[in-house]
Amino acid sequence: MLKRIVQYVTAVGMNSYFYGWFHGAVYQGGTKKLCVPILNCWGCPGARFACPIGNLQHYIGLRLIPFYALGFFGAIGAVVGRMACGWLCPFGLLQDLLYKLKTFKIRMPRFFGFLKYVMLVGVVGFVVYLTAEPWFCKLCPDGLLIAGLPLVLMDKTGDLKALTGWHYYMKIGLMIFMVGMSIPIKRFFCRTLCPIGAIYSVFNRFSFLRLRVDKDKCIECDSCQMACPMDVAPHKSPSNIDCIRCLDCVRKCPTKALAYGIK
């Protein structure tokens, strides 16, 4: 319950520029120079902060070392690992809610998880460096959902509508696919294509705060894995790169064999 409250409060707080929601304007105040620790599009009408992946791409495109973005990710990851994905990400919250819909469910093979590293290194890194264009932003389903669609729908002058073309509709198709796949598969986008998740995942094994398993108490009932929104088995791999530290497993463990704290 606490996690869900934090997710809702975070989603509203990060996108609380209400004037933009009603008038189709994008906030450009002082806080737009600061990044949030998760995916949240700079161009969203309500966004008061910047997206860290957008910042990272900006400096890579200029062929400069992105000191701010790297330090930002490093500081958060070194303390809590991938916990921001589990507690703060609005797009992660949307996927959690979609998975609750009563439909058939699919268990995704683990190897698809490596696609997020291809996205991080190949698109956010290599392609952006070569083209000086923020290509992840051009593909991001979260960006279209909270920025592209609202801005075009609220466009009173028709200027933005006139600019929409094949790329815009391709991005709509990609967003529909990502959202649709999140209904039968747990956090489909987080597990396959999110570059922020790829960055934070490397810190899971040595972050200051980590998941711990008391082997003497664990009865291997798999309750933790069934509760996990990333389909991880915490009792077998508490530092798994896909663990988002949501702590659902800690709450669901019948023998209290799981705990989160200083390693």
Kindly compute the dihedral angle of the four CA atoms of residues 27, 28, 29, 33, in this order, to the nearest 10 degrees: 120
Query: Count of CB atoms within 10 A of residue 254's CB?
Result: 10
- Structure confidence by residue, pLDDT tens digits, 158-181: 777 777 888 889 999 999 999 999
CA 19-23-28 angle, 5° bins: 60
- The 10s digit of each residue's pLDDT in 202-239 is 999 999 999 999 999 999 999 999 999 999 999 999 99
Structure tokens given for 216: 């003497």
For residues 48 and 22, give the distance between their C-alpha atoms in angstroms, rounded to a whole number: 15
Q: pLDDT-derived band of residue 4, with 50, 70 and 90 as boundaries? A: very high
Q: Quote the DSSP letter at residue 35.
A: B
Inform me whether the pLDDT recorded for 263 exceeds 70.
no
CATH number of 210-262: 3.30.70.20
Other beta carbons within 10 angstroms of residue 95's beta carbon come to 23
Whether the pTM exceeds 0.75: the reply is yes
What is the C-alpha separation between 207 and 238, in angstroms, rounded? 12
Per-residue pLDDT, 166 = 85
Question: Would you give the distance in Å from CA 244 to the centre of its chain?
Answer: 10
Sorted by where each begins, the domain ranges of the chain are: 2-201, 210-262
